[in-house]
Amino acid sequence: MDRSSDLAIDSVTGVDVVLPVAGPGARAFAFLVDWAIRTILSVAWYVVAALLHNGGWNLIAPLAPDAHWFVFVVAPPAAIYFLYHPVWEVATHGSTPGKRMAGLRIVSRDGGAPGIGSLLTRNVFRLVDSFPVAYALGLLTTMFTHNNVRIGDLAGGTLLVYTPNGTSLAQIPGQAIDARAAEVLSELLQRWPALDSQARRKIAATILKDRPAEADEDLRLQLETLATRGTQ
Amino acid sequence: MSESTRENALRLTLLRRSELWKSAAARARRLSRKRTDDAADATAMADDYRMLAHDVAKVRRLLPDSRAREYLEGAYAQAHASLHRPAWHVGYAILTLFRDDIPSVMRWLRPHVLWATALFILTIVAGYWMVHTYPDLIALFASPELIATVERGQLWTEGLLNVVPSSVLSLQILTNNIVVSLFAYCAGFLFGLGTVYVLGLNGLMLGAVFAFTGQHGLDDDLFRFVVAHGCVEISVMCLSGAAGAAVGEALIRPGTTTRAESFQRAALQSGKLILACALLLIGSGLIEGYISPNPAFSLRARIAVGVSYWIFMLALLNGWLFGFRRLRSGATA
């Protein structure tokens, strides 16, 4: 279960908080989903705005484009494409739709939500991570750095971890025994050989209310079954 | 009783607390999404945190590869994040950034600013000298269209507003300038060499173009075009270079911290200055789109705009606009 790349954070309770760090695969998946979303949104905006601006089935820029063309047709898709990550991450304190789908979120080195400065810095450094093409440098650094971080994460002091609330608890056995009874049961079985028959029966009766066994050996087996499976 | 029987009993005891975990996890989730001013809620969160820590420690030993552990680790991490989330108010954060943070970054970066400015001036002089001495070298720094226009006795900026509207021109210019500024900062990652390259290239180009226009008697016109927006634009170029140089220096000589920590600190600190630079470049882009190419503005008006905006830049970066000086004098009194 413990992985060398997990992030362990000191806590005042004395018990470290352990966050599972995302690897290059999960990061790449989240990035591709985000890339697809921002590309689709940008293209969709351009197509609709160009059709409206040209007043017909024509997507090509006019020979002498006016301010309206740039402000309503060109600038918004460019803004959607290039500002997608910083805007989402700042607005959601470290998440994007792609990261959510991959079950990831951005955290600071102390495990908390990253500040705006950290988020903006990690996004500015995409200029370096995307070098020379297709985020090759960023991908390589996520493969070889300690917490699978890219250069932007190193600059911003951030990393990607798996979101903690994806797991649900299984049906817990042992509904027939409560916590206090389990402690008593544990102590009873530990001291079983040292107790006389009367003491064994008396204490066992407080736990096995419904079916007290007759023989000592049967009683012990019944208690061990209860301790092991939680049912009588 | 065997050890395994005892451990099974303890496991069951632990798992019986799952309802407590669920309620603690729900509270941590709720408080991570929205803030609360309910003291009882906050106290319950602190109690939950201790309870979860206790159970995490037990579950790590008793149920190391279980879904219960995964769930509990997640709930504990979320409780930790909710409990340790710093107070944040957008207005106060912006005020602190411009009143305290950016002025202190400016003080920290003063030597870098001096070095970056010296390098920039040196490369301007070098570019000027190169083209002044060997005019053919202008082909290294300028496009054939620009060279042809100047050789016809015209500046490429003439009639610019007839081709592109001011709003579009401003948008294009400020976007381009901000990208160059960000690149000068990020390129510091290459141990400062990238920043030196960006600064050097821009300095050489500026010097070369001034020398070339001077050879065709157009340097006064170029100065007239540049002066309104150039004072701040060139200063921001040097400031971005200084931020990049600080990032590079942090990698070259990290001091007592690790290289990664030193890089992170320098990037985050100097990044605050880059934010101010980006804001200044928006104003600069608007001036370059609306005032610089407009022949209606006299040289005197352009100089006034350029110098005023440069003084505004100084005031912004030194925190004078937000009472930094008052605060300091109050602190020392």
Q: Mind listing the pLDDT tens digit for each residue in B37-66? A: 788 888 999 999 999 999 999 999 888 888
One-character DSSP codes across chain A: ---TT-EEE--TTSS-EEEPBP-HHHHHHHHHHHHHHHHHHHHHHHHHHHHHHHTSS--SPPSS--HHIIIIIIHHHHHHHHHHHHHHHHHTTS--HHHHHTTEEEEETTSSPPPHHHHHHHHHTHHHHTTTTTTHHHHHHHHHSTTS--HHHHHHTEEEEE-GGG--PPPPS-TTS-HHHHHHHHHHHHTGGGS-HHHHHHHHHHH--S---SSHHHHHHHHHHHHHHS--
Which residue reads 């805007």 in tokens? A87
Mean of pLDDT over chain B? 90
Is residue A214's pLDDT more than 50?
Answer: yes
**Cβ <8 Å between A173 and B12:** yes
d(CA B166, CA B309): 19
The span from the CA of A98 to the CA of B163, in Å, is 41
**Looking up tokens 């689709």, which residue turns up?**
A40
Instruction: Give the model's pLDDT for residue A165.
Output: 58
Which residue type is seen at B124?
I
Which residues of chain B neighbour A122 with C-beta distances below 8 Å?
none
Contact A39, A26 (CB under 8 A): no
> Residue B278 to residues B233, B287, B302: CA-CA distances in angstroms?
10, 14, 22
Non-local (6+) Cβ contacts of A227 within 8 A are A182, A185, A186, A189, B1, B5, B6, B8, B9, B12
Q: How confident is the model over A180-207, as a mean pLDDT?
A: 78
pLDDT at B270 over 80: yes
Tell whether the model's pLDDT for residue B16 goes beyond 50.
yes
Average pLDDT score over residue span B257-279: 96
Q: Which of A3, A6, A17 to mutate to test the interface with B (most CBs of B within 10 A)?
A: A17
Residue B321 tokens read as 């606009």
B22/A169 Cβ within 8 A? yes
B253: tokens are 């000589």
Size of interface A-B (CB pairs under 8 A): 163
CA distance B78 to chain A (A): 7
Q: Please state the rounded mean pLDDT for residues B143-162.
A: 87
Mutate to test the interface with B, among A146, A167, A175 (most CBs of B within 10 A): A167
Q: Which of A113, A164, A190 sits opposite B6 (nearest CB)?
A: A190
- Residue A217 in this model has a pLDDT that exceeds 90: no
Name the pLDDT band for A35 (thresholds 50, 70, 90). very high
Q: Which residue has the higher pLDDT, B109 or A168?
A: B109
Neighbours of A66 (CB within 10 A): 13
What integer pLDDT is reported at residue B5 of this predicted model?
Answer: 66
Contacts of B105 (CB under 8 A, 6+ apart): B269, B270, B272, B273
Bin A148: left if φ > 0, else alpha if -120 < ψ < 50, else beta.
Answer: left
pLDDT one-digit tens code per residue, B217-245: 999 999 999 999 999 999 999 999 999 99
pTM of the model: 0.83
Question: Taking Cα atoms as reference points, which of B143, B148, B160 lies closest to residue B205?
Answer: B143
Residue of chain A minimizing CA distance to B53: A15
Q: For the residues B198-214, what does the mean pLDDT come to?
A: 96
Tens digits of residue pLDDT in A169-190: 655 554 456 656 666 777 788 7
Please confirm whether the linkage preceding A132 is cis (ω < 30° from 0).
yes
Q: What is the pLDDT of residue A102?
A: 94
Any CB–CB contact under 8 A between B290 and chain A? no
Domain boundaries, chain B: 13-83, 91-323
Non-local (6+) Cβ contacts of B249 within 8 A are B112, B192, B266
Residue A32 to chain B, least CA–CA distance (Å): 24
Hey, where are the domains in chain A? 7-166, 179-229
DSSP class of residue B164 equals S
Q: Which helix (H) or strand (E) holds B101?
A: none
Question: What is the Cα–Cα distance from B178 to B27, expressed in whole angstroms?
Answer: 43
Question: What local confidence, expressed as pLDDT, does residue A179 receive?
Answer: 56
Lowest mean pLDDT among A17-31, B81-95, B130-144: B81-95
Give the dihedral sign, CA B252/B256/B257/B262.
Answer: negative
User: Nearest residue of A to residue B182 by CA position?
Assistant: A124
Q: Is the predicted pLDDT of residue B129 greater than 80, yes or no?
A: yes
pLDDT recorded at residue B168 = 84
Confidence band, pLDDT 50/70/90 cuts, at residue A80 = very high
Residue type, A147: N
Name the residue of chain B whose CA is nearest to A230's CA. B12
Give the three-class secondary structure for B148: helix
Q: Which chain A residues are within 8 Å of B71, Cβ to Cβ?
A: 167-169
* More confident of the two residues A47 and B78: A47
**B69/B306: higher pLDDT:** B306
A5-27 pLDDT, tens digit per residue, is 688 988 888 899 989 999 999 99
Alpha-carbon distance of A199 to B207, in angstroms, equals 100
What is d(CA B25, CA A167) in angstroms, rounded to the nearest whole number? Answer: 11
From the CA of B53, how many Å to the nearest CA of chain A? 6
Question: Residue B55 has what pLDDT?
Answer: 92
Residue B60 to residues A30, A180, B151, Cα–Cα distance (Å): 30, 21, 78
Q: In the predicted model, what is the mean pLDDT of residues B67-90?
A: 85
In terms of pLDDT, which residue wins out, A207 or A100?
A100
A4, pLDDT greater than 70: no
Give pLDDT tens digits for A100-154: 999 999 999 988 889 999 999 999 999 999 988 889 999 999 999 989 999 999 9
The shortest C-alpha distance from B38 to chain A (Å) reads: 22
Q: Name every chain A residue with its beta carbon within 8 A of the beta carbon of B271.
A: 117, 120-121, 124, 155
Residues of A in contact with B86 (CB under 8 A): 112
DSSP letters of A93-136? TS--HHHHHTTEEEEETTSSPPPHHHHHHHHHTHHHHTTTTTTH
pLDDT tens readout for residues B288-308: 999 999 999 999 999 999 999
Residues of B numbered 37-76 whose beta carbons fall under 8 angstroms of chain A's beta carbons: which are they? 49-50, 53-54, 56-57, 64-65, 67-71, 73-76
Query: What's the pLDDT at A111?
Result: 86
**What is the residue-wise DSSP string for B249-268?**
HHHH--TTS-HHHHHHHHHH
- CA trace torsion B177, B182, B184, B187 (10° rounding): -150
pLDDT at B331: 53
Q: Residue A79 pLDDT more than 50?
A: yes
pLDDT at A231 over 80: no
